[in-house]
Structure 1
Amino acid sequence: MPSPQHLLLKQFLAAATGPLARQRPRLTTMRLATEAAALFQFVPWNVFLEETDVDGMAAEWLRPAGAPAGRVLLYLHGGGYVLGSLNTHRSLVGVLARSCQLNTLVINYRKAPEYPFPAALDDARLAYDWLLAEGYAAHNIMVAGDSAGGGLALALLLHLRDAGQPLPAAAIGLSPWTDLVLPTATLRQVCREESQLLEALEIRGWGGMYAHETPLAHPLLSPVRAQLHDLPPLLIQISDAEVLHDDVLHFTQKARAVGVPVTLQVFGGLVHWWHLFWRFVPEARLALAQVGDFARGVWAAQEAAQAVAERASQKARSATPYRPRPQV
């Protein structure tokens, strides 16, 4: 049962966005609205903001006090590939960085329709390569994202795998968009309200803007349609009330079938992007705390595997018989 705070949030969003969904506002208007809403967001306590430049791309670090220097989280914000910025997600990413205790790099990747596929993916790859060049080992990097950013994080894994590049330690998807196709018949089954259906149809249009001339079923646009073998551990969070729910379940089942370790956490009755409202929605704080638990679990498993390997190496060295060098 969703909390009273979430029920109030849902009522507010329905009142605020329902009329807008019917009017189908222009993209420029929606961008201005999201940026205006970002004015009310603040960096969480004990997290420090540092602007940076990633080979010409605007980016920023969110650094929690006491975070280790050698590990990092690369975050890709959501917004349907057409909305969102460093401003709109600063508060969410700040609390996520604090929960995971990871210095977190957020990039302002290029948006559609001005920059269609593969611009966003190219920018994500650029940021990942930049981190490697800065001295971070791949096994000390995690990748995360929400909504379209979650789908972009999964596409980055597929892109790196197919290019034979080192993969990050893990990836985190907060309500990831795994299938840009979104068939209308499926939407009508999933959407419980007219406003929700209108919103979903709008999102599908955004997917077309990003895809441009590339088929929506392309695996780097719709990761659920890709071959999912040899991926690192994944954490995926989704609400059973979201339009994206069924596609996420399909992705999870498909990944697990080929041996990918996937932690799926399903929340009941929550709106899409509930993570953004962590300041007053307890389910959001719970979800982000669980992301932190997952991250610590990945590092603990990594350290345990390294300790086992070191013990095995020491045992092998001690078992090697001593052979004195022959006298000349």
Structure 2
Amino acid sequence: MNELERLEAMLRARPASLSIEQRRVASDALGDLFPLAVDVRVEQVGAYGVPAEWTSTPVASTSEVILYLHGGGYVWGSLKSHRHLVSELGRAATMRTLALDYRRAPEFPFPQALEDAVSGYRFLLDSGFKPRQIAVAGDSAGAGLAVALLVRLKELGMQQPACAFLLSPWADMTATADSYSRNAKQDPVLNREIIQFVAEQYLERRSRETPLASPVFADLSGIAPLTIFVGATEALLDDAVALTRAAGLADVSVRLEIWPKMFHVWATYHQVLAQGRQGVARAGRLLREAVEAASSGEG
């Protein structure tokens, strides 16, 4: 059994029926399973009322930053669960990171996570970062939130960041995509039932096509360039394809990479999966290139 097969077997062995609190605990346990590299510096900060943390490595530029929005269906996931991923993405991009502990559903439903994302972006601007020095990144729900943030910034008349990196984005809360059934036996992390549950927690009785929650239905014109990574075997494959199409039709620069044999948010497991390390390294390189292009006026 190779490392991918071992990892998928471990993920499939997890209990299927967990309460929200149990899922939050299990998600945070990733932070214990995958400890930080010894040279990562972590600093807690308040970003206009939103708990957040800086991470940096010795190679990080002080003038550029990744604003990171964690995944977890807007219901679980935290600074702790994603710290090992965020810090290494920052290392690969040679940038600092600011990860937001945005408010989660069901205690804080839509649009409160989005409001916190806007607060985090304002905090960076007021901390002296120019928009072209800021990259936005996120995974799963956090990737959908990243796109919603770009749309909301446009609505508010605020300047776009340099780019956004989206890992396995959840961009359509209707959960009607064919890839849910097509990849049902292949993705060990996510399925339609989970997605329908967290969509209900986040949106309550609102339409599942609410544009700032399901950005495939939003007007994406004028938003920052997007880079999207998605696994070929994951339930959200079609979300990424639909988001790419919507962005392209809106005349947005968009790059889609479909990674063979990869499941939902595989880069989280970079410490035990070669493709995870490759994904983090490539994402960091593309973020670096996008920020440099924006700063030089090319992008």
TM bucket normalised to smaller: over 0.9
| Structure 1 unmatched ranges of 5 or more | 307-328
- Within 5 A, what are the aligned runs for 1:93-112? 93-112=86-105
Candidates 16, 21, 36, aligned match of 2:29: 36
Equivalences for residues 48-127 of structure 1 within 5 A: 48-127=41-120
Q: 1:46 maps to what in 2?
A: 39
Report if aligned partners of 1:188, 1:197 keep a CA contact under 8 Å in 2.
Answer: no
Letter of the structure 1 residue corresponding to residue 105 of structure 2: A
Distance in 1 of aligned mates of 2:258 and 2:190: 24
Residues 255 and 198 of structure 1: CA distance in aligned 2, closer, same or farther (over 3 Å): closer
Cα–Cα, structure 1 residues 166 and 26, in superposed 2: closer, same or farther, change >3 Å?
A: same
CA RMSD of aligned residues (A): 2.0
Q: 1:90-169 to 2 correspondence within 5 Å?
A: 90-169=83-162
- Judge conservation of contact 2:186–2:234 (CA < 8 Å) in 1: no
Relative to total residues, which structure has the larger helix share, 1 or 2? 1
Query: Residues 303 and 86 of structure 1: is their aligned pair in 2 closer, same or farther, counting only changes over 3 Å?
Result: closer
> In 2, are the aligned partners of 1:187 and 1:197 still within 8 Å (CA)?
no
Match status 1:242 vs 2:242: no
The answer to whether the 8 Å contact 1:117/1:214 transfers is no
**1:92 CA drift (Å):** 0.5
Q: How far, CA to CA, are the matches of 1:293 and 1:203 in structure 2?
A: 31
SS of 1:145 mapped into structure 2:
strand
1:62–1:211: structure 2 CA closer, same or farther, 3 Å change rule? same
Contact 2:187 2:263 (8 Å CA) reproduced: no
- What is the rounded CA distance, in whole Å, between the counterparts of 2:284 and 2:51 in structure 1? 26
5 Å matches for 1:186-197?
186=178, 189-193=181-185
Query: CA offsets, 1:135-187, max 9 Å, x none?
Result: 1111111100000000000000010112211110100101010101102x736
Aligned residue identity for 1:11: A
Say yes or no: does 1:225 pair with 2:217: yes
Displacement of 1:296: 2.2
Query: Take 2:247 and 2:197, find their aligned partners in 1: how far apart are those partners?
Result: 27
CA distance in 2, matches of 1:261, 1:275: 23
Tell me the CA shift for residue 49 of structure 1: 1.0
Q: Which segment is superposed worse, 94-103 or 194-203?
A: 194-203
Structure 2 CA distance for partners of 1:206 and 1:265, relative to 1, 3 Å? same
Partner of 1:316 in structure 2? none
Q: Distance in 2 between matches of 1:124 and 1:7?
A: 36
TM-score, length basis structure 1: 0.86
Q: Tell me which amino acid in the other structure corresponds to 1:182.
A: A
Instruction: Give the Cα separation in 1 of the matches to 2:80 and 2:189.
Output: 28
Pick closer, same or farther for the CA change 1:302–1:236 going to 2, 3 Å.
same
Q: CA offset at residue 268 of structure 1?
A: 0.9
Show the counterpart of 1:311: none
How far off its partner does 1:258 sit?
2.5
User: Structure 1: how far apart are the matches of 2:284 and 2:178?
Assistant: 33
* Contact 2:132–2:295 (CA under 8 A) maintained in structure 1: no
Establish whether residue 25 from structure 1 lines up as the match of residue 23 from structure 2.
no
1:215 to 207, 213, 221: 207
Distance 1:107 1:218, change over 3 A: same
Cα separation, partners in 2 of 1:197 and 1:167, compared to 1, 3 Å? closer
Residues 59 and 91 in structure 2, CA contact (< 8 A), matched pair in contact too: no
Whole-angstrom distance in 1 between the partners of 2:130 and 2:159:
9
1:255 pairs, out of 247, 254, 271, with: 247
Which blocks of at least 5 consecutive residues in structure 2 are unaligned? none
2:4 maps to 1:6: yes
